[in-house]
Chain A
């Protein structure tokens, strides 16, 4: 079964509003989670690395004030797209790995955001 759950799966919002996406690790404590964005027919683009209890590490070109990441507990990280615009419409995916393991990444189901 799924070990990382992401919610919501689909969200449609008006331009200018904010949207929050949740990523939960279900059967392990994830000190680190990763947030990706994927545009149609393109590969995953790492947006940021979310660290429990500290600030997220953002990739170059990703706006920190626009994509707010909060990793308040060992099982939950949230991504908030603030003042969303149509160009923010994309597939957002989170992933996590078990602590002290360098292997498999477990992915959430993904969240498809459409900004009207």
Chain B
């Protein structure tokens, strides 16, 4: 079956770095997405990886290893506003998104 695993909750300190891991199993693969979702709001796009390696975009970076079925989202210089849920989603061979349950990130001063 198709499956996405990511931690349920993580806590980090303002100004620090945090890495949110995601492993996936899909029928075929057409890319890995990360979305940010603040409570009560719709998700917003953070990144898309389809090739192995690290993609850096400001304070956020996303990494993909297709052979390992693994991705991570790296957040640097954490700010209080980064407190949110982070959703990992893999696109299968039919271009359908398989969603993880999300990782709730709590930032402490």
Name A's B-contacting residues (CB within 8 A).
6, 41-46, 91, 93, 102-110, 112
Q: Which stretch (B52-60, B69-77, B99-107) binds chain A?
A: B99-107
CA distance A112 to B20 in the complex (A): 28
Name B's A-contacting residues (CB within 8 A).
30-31, 33, 40-45, 48, 87, 91, 95-97, 99-102, 104
CA distance A6 to B53 in the complex (A): 35
The answer to whether A103 and B42 touch across the interface, beta carbons within 8 angstroms, is no
The winner among B33, B43, B44 for most chain A CB atoms within 10 A is B43
Contacts of A110 in B (CB 8 A): 40-42
- Chain B's closest residue to A36 (CB) is B99
- Chain B's closest residue to A91 (CB) is B40
CA distance A110 to B100 in the complex (A): 19
The 7 closest A-B pairs by CB, nearest first: A107-B42, A110-B42, A43-B101, A43-B102, A104-B45, A43-B99, A44-B99
Chosen A-B contacts, 27 in total, with CB atoms closer than 8 Å, are A6-B42, A41-B104, A42-B101, A43-B99, A43-B100, A43-B101, A43-B102, A44-B43, A44-B87, A44-B99, A45-B99, A46-B96, A46-B99, A93-B42, A93-B43, A102-B31, A102-B95, A103-B48, A104-B45, A105-B45, A106-B45, A107-B42, A107-B43, A108-B42, A109-B41, A110-B40, A110-B42
CA distance A59 to B42 in the complex (A): 20
Contacts of A107 in B (CB 8 A): 42-44
Tell me how far the C-beta of A52 lies from the nearest C-beta in chain B, rounded to whole angstroms.
Answer: 16
Contacts of B95 in A (CB 8 A): 102
Known: A43-B87, A110-B42. 12 other contacts (CB 8 A): A41-B104, A43-B100, A43-B102, A44-B99, A46-B96, A102-B95, A103-B48, A105-B45, A105-B97, A107-B43, A107-B44, A110-B40
